[in-house]
Amino acid sequence: MAKTFCVDSLFKGSQPRKHQTRTIRGVRSGRNKQRLIKSITTVRQDSLNKYNRGVNPNNLTNITPQDPSVVKTSTDSDNLLELTRQKTEYGISTTWNNFQRLPYSTYTRSISSGNLVKINYVSVQSTKVNLNCGLWNARSLRNKVGALIASIIENKLDLYMVTETWTQDGVHPIIGEITSSLDDFKFYHQPRKLRKGGGVGLLARSNLHIKLKTSNPFRSFQYLDASIHSSSQLFSTIIIYRPPYSDKNKWTVNDFLTEFSTLLEELIIRPGNLLIAGDFNFHYETNKPEVIKLSNLLSSFNLVQHVNEPTHDEGHTLDLIITRSSDDFIKNLSMKNDLPSDHSQILLNLNIIRPPNNKISPKRRKLVNLNVEEFQKALGSSLWFLTVTLTC
């Protein structure tokens, strides 16, 4: 016997229309108004899941992976199938609200650990760089500025100590040529007074804070005393040039040792590291009496000499590097014989952190303010002078 369904439809439109009062916007919706139709049906609706299709567990097939590398189905999916089966079997309508949700892994795919690649972590190297320093007996910087600049750029030097500059006091064209080619460097100079030759100088980057000390008027040697600050580290650099004994100066070894001892008494009590470098004109590779005296003098002040190779073309060790024996100041020392002189240059890597470079603002000409007429006149006179020079 077929079931009968009773549909009770209530239409408000079937009742007599009452008089509608006119409003400002006009008559109310009237016949265009939507009306509610009540009906009876056998379909059981769920207010939250009415847009979802039901899942028939009888249509589901369990897939067994053939390849052992295939990952098994997540247990969260099995729980979801079990909930669906119970809902269909017992007619339970499950409502999920904001306080009860399916696990997040239900909506995500499983992860195969076999597909993961292990990443080897590499420790980040420190970007801090130590100071590079050089020492060279130039025997006159005249016609050697290009080689000096090339060596500083090639070896990435921050400090460069030069002995026997052979430049006079005051503004010298050689110093101007060096500083104009190396914009980020400053040149500090201590020339020999009243006589030609000699002279010591220091080329330093502008990011290093240099303070020159007043030099005592020693007669047997020349020196430049500089206090250097680099990244909150302080050290003193002493550049020395001792001329050899001659009939002109007549300063003996004993005279030098006496004055040098006086200088060491002042330097040894200074804070920070100490670097003494220069041309001492001692054959330090030998066991001559003057060498032994100098070595004993250094030992008495707890100082040590680091150069163990010849620095002169004749095989003598004339240029010395001296520091405190208790200081771990020099990390590396090497020799290069690639500059136009009979002395080799000594390259040092100091255990001092190099400060960041200064920002150099570029210089530009304001062509907007250029006077065209004056520029044409200056250019014309230059071309005329060039033409006359080439003709002659």
In this structure, the answer to whether residues 68 and 183 fall within a common structural domain is: no
What are the tens digits of pLDDT across the range 318-366? 999 999 999 999 999 999 999 999 999 999 999 999 988 777 677 777 7
Are the C-beta atoms of 304 and 323 separated by less than 8 Å?
A: yes
- Label residue 375 by pLDDT band (50, 70, 90): confident
One domain, residues 149 and 67:
no
Considering the domain architecture, whether residues 79 and 134 belong to the same structural domain is answered as: no
319-324, strands of its sheet edge to edge: 209-212, 222-230, 233-241, 273-279, 319-324, 303-305
- Same domain, yes or no, for 277 and 331? yes
Residue 291 main-chain phi, psi, to 5 deg:
-70, -40
Query: What are the tens digits of pLDDT across the range 137-161?
Result: 999 998 999 999 999 999 999 999 9
- 133 C-beta neighbours (distance < 10 Å), count: 24
Average pLDDT score over residue span 2-25: 49
Kindly report, residue by residue over 70-118, the tens digit of the pLDDT: 444 455 566 667 777 766 666 655 554 444 555 555 555 667 777 788 8
Same domain as 182, residue 98: no
Residue at which a domain ends, from 56, 91, 106: 106
| Any domain includes 385 | no
- Share of residues in the chain with pLDDT > 90 (%): 47
Token pair, residue 44, equals 């059981």
Spatial separation of the C-alpha atoms in residues 228 and 232, rounded to whole Å: 10
Query: Which residues span the domain enclosing 211?
Result: 130-353
Helices of type H across 182-286 = 253-267
Residues 102, 137: one domain? no
Number of structural domains found in the chain = 2
Q: Of 353, 369, 387, which residue is a domain's last?
A: 353
Can you give the pLDDT at residue 12?
46
Residues 83 and 153 in one domain: no
Check whether residue 235 and residue 199 sit in a common domain: yes
32 vs 208, more confident = 208
> Does residue 325 fall inside a structural domain?
yes
**What are the b/e assignments for 238-273, b being 16+ CB within 10 Å?**
bbbbbbeeeeeeebebebbbebbeebbeebeeeeeb
Q: Is position 51 within any domain?
A: yes
Residues 174, 283 within the same domain:
yes
Task: Output the pLDDT for position 4.
Answer: 45
> Are residue 166 and residue 254 in the same domain, yes or no?
yes
**Strand bridging mode 222-230 / 319-324:** unpaired
The predicted structure's pLDDT at residue 109: 61
CATH of the domain at 189: 3.60.10.10
For the chain, list the strands marked E by DSSP. Answer: 130-137, 159-163, 185-190, 200-205, 209-212, 222-230, 233-241, 273-279, 303-305, 319-324, 330-336, 345-353
Is 4 contained in some domain?
A: no
Average pLDDT over residues 37-61: 58
Q: Is 34 within the bounds of a domain?
A: no
Residues 304 and 240 in one domain: yes
In a domain? residue 379: no
Considering the domain architecture, whether residues 249 and 182 belong to the same structural domain is answered as: yes
Residue 342 belongs to some domain of the structure: yes
Whole-number pLDDT of residue 373: 86
DSSP state of 262: H
Higher-confidence residue: 53 or 277? 277
Q: What is the pLDDT of residue 390?
A: 47
Q: Name the pLDDT band for 6 (thresholds 50, 70, 90).
A: very low
